[in-house]
């Protein structure tokens, strides 16, 4: 008896049922004369049994016919100073072009993390996806895996360490460790941290680098950390409280947005960043590069991230697919006047 799938059967499902490669299923649909009669019969039987109904979009998605890579982009939030995703998108477009691909951007619904994926999967011609939201609880990766849709993630699988999909990420803890150690080497001992809420895996990862560096020198972290929303105003308020209660001589922040808030607080109090109190942000945004006296910031190697993602896509779309281990890249420190 034919099973009734909970989701529409895919080319990969047919391949698995028939015990053949995806390319063989594609040939059965598009070029049946290339197959031996017994192989063709086996594939057609599996198609019948599963109720698989191939269409142009589904065929292109799995046979690398379009040379388009889909990526969802979200809105820019008010009150932030971060344009990291802009730099990443530009880098991805450049790296994809050199490999013979083009990037198809689509907008998402902030209330629905899956919005847009189903439409592209069913009705447009993309070879694969790049997923950028890998935070805890985000269903995109699981949804795509269930449908055998090829994708590479920018971000490690935080809630599923054993995930088999390819991913590329930047070691945030290494970046904040680098920033904190730089300040320690210059004589600072009371270095405050301003980061994101505890449910942010990325934020907690970055916080761990700060605490690791301090503990390695036998220095305390108690009373020196604050967790807030990623806005300039939150950074401003948190730094004011820390300056009053903990008297730090330096701040390391989870983002340039928060660091900009710290700079605002210092200015309000007549303090000079880099001379009276040092400040280091994260992401090396354009704001960090132009604000006076220049914000020292941890710089993510987004150009390298894009190249590694395209390499992973090429392996994923090869015949047969080649899926390598996740790739973790190390950030650097862009030194400027605030430190």
- CA distance linking residue 255 with residue 232, whole number of Å: 10
Q: Tell me, yes or no, whether 15 and 161 share the same domain.
A: no
Which has the closest alpha carbon to 61: 169, 151, 174? 151
Q: Tell me, yes or no, whether 217 and 324 share the same domain.
A: no
Residue 13: left (phi > 0), alpha (psi -120 to 50), or beta?
alpha
- The total of structural domains in the chain comes to 3
Collect the ranges in the chain with pLDDT lower than 50: 1-5, 56-64
pLDDT at position 58 is 46
Which has the closest alpha carbon to 150: 33, 34, 319? 319
- CA distance linking residue 44 with residue 167, whole number of Å: 34
242-247 long-range contacts, CB within 8 A, separation 24+:
242/192, 242/194, 243/269, 243/277, 246/190, 246/192, 247/190
Q: Tell me, yes or no, whether 143 and 116 share the same domain.
A: yes
CATH number for the domain that contains residue 39: 1.10.260.40
Which has the closest alpha carbon to 262: 221, 294, 233? 233
pTM: 0.77
Q: Tell me, yes or no, whether 112 and 252 share the same domain.
A: no
pLDDT at position 56 is 43
Backbone angles phi, psi at 184, to 5 degrees: -60, -40
pLDDT at position 266 is 97
Q: Tell me, yes or no, whether 316 and 276 share the same domain.
A: no
Structural domain contains residue 154? yes
Distances (CA, A) of 302 to 39, 145, 192, 252, 313: 45, 25, 27, 21, 16
Q: Tell me, yes or no, whether 131 and 277 share the same domain.
A: no
Q: Tell me, yes or no, whether 97 and 213 share the same domain.
A: no
Residue 190: left (phi > 0), alpha (psi -120 to 50), or beta?
beta
Structural domain contains residue 36? yes
In contact, 115 and 136? CB cutoff 8 Å: no
**Which pLDDT tens digit goes with each residue over 106-149?**
887 777 777 788 878 776 678 899 998 766 556 888 888 888 88
Structural domain contains residue 5? no
Sheet holding 327-329, edge to edge: 102-107, 68-73, 128-131, 151-154, 167-170, 327-329
CB-neighbour burial class of residue 108 (10 A; exposed 0-12, middle 13-18, buried 19+) = middle
Structural domain contains residue 337? no
Beta-bridged to residue 196, according to DSSP, are 228
Q: Tell me, yes or no, whether 157 and 270 share the same domain.
A: no
Structural domain boundaries, residue 101: 68-171+302-330
Q: Tell me, yes or no, whether 122 and 159 share the same domain.
A: yes
């Amino acid at each position: 008896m034919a099973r009734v799938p909970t989701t529409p059967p895919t080319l990969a499902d047919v391949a698995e049922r028939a015990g053949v490669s995806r390319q063989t299923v594609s040939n059965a649909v598009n070029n049946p004369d290339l197959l031996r009669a017994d192989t063709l019969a086996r594939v057609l039987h599996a198609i019948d049994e599963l109720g698989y109904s191939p269409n142009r979009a589904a065929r292109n998605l799995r046979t690398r016919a379009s040379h388009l890579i889909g990526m969802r982009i979200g809105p820019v939030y008010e009150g932030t100073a971060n344009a990291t995703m802009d730099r990443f998108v530009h880098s991805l477009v450049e790296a994809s072009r050199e490999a013979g691909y083009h990037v198809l951007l689509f907008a998402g619904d902030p209330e629905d993390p899956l919005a847009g994926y189903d439409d592209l999967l069913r009705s447009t011609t993309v070879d694969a996806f790049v997923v950028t939201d890998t935070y805890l609880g985000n269903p995109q990766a699981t949804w795509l895996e269930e449908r055998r849709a090829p994708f590479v993630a920018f971000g490690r699988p935080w809630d599923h360490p054993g995930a088999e999909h390819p991913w590329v990420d930047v070691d945030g803890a290494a970046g904040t460790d680098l920033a904190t150690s730089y300040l320690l080497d210059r004589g600072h001992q009371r270095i405050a941290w301003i980061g994101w809420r505890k449910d942010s895996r990325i934020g907690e990862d970055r916080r761990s680098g700060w605490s690791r560096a301090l503990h390695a020198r036998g220095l305390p972290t108690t009373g020196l950390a604050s967790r807030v929303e990623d806005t300039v105003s939150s950074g401003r308020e948190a730094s004011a409280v820390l300056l009053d209660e903990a008297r730090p001589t330096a701040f390391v922040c989870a983002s340039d947005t928060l660091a900009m808030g710290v700079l605002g607080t210092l200015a309000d109090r007549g303090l000079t960043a880099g001379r009276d109190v040092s400040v280091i942000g994260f992401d090396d945004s354009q704001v960090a590069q132009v604000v006076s006296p220049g914000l020292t910031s941890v710089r993510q190697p987004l150009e390298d991230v894009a190249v590694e993602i395209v390499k992973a896509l090429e392996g994923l779309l090869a015949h047969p697919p080649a899926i390598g281990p996740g790739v973790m890249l190390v950030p650097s420190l862009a030194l400027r006047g605030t430190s």
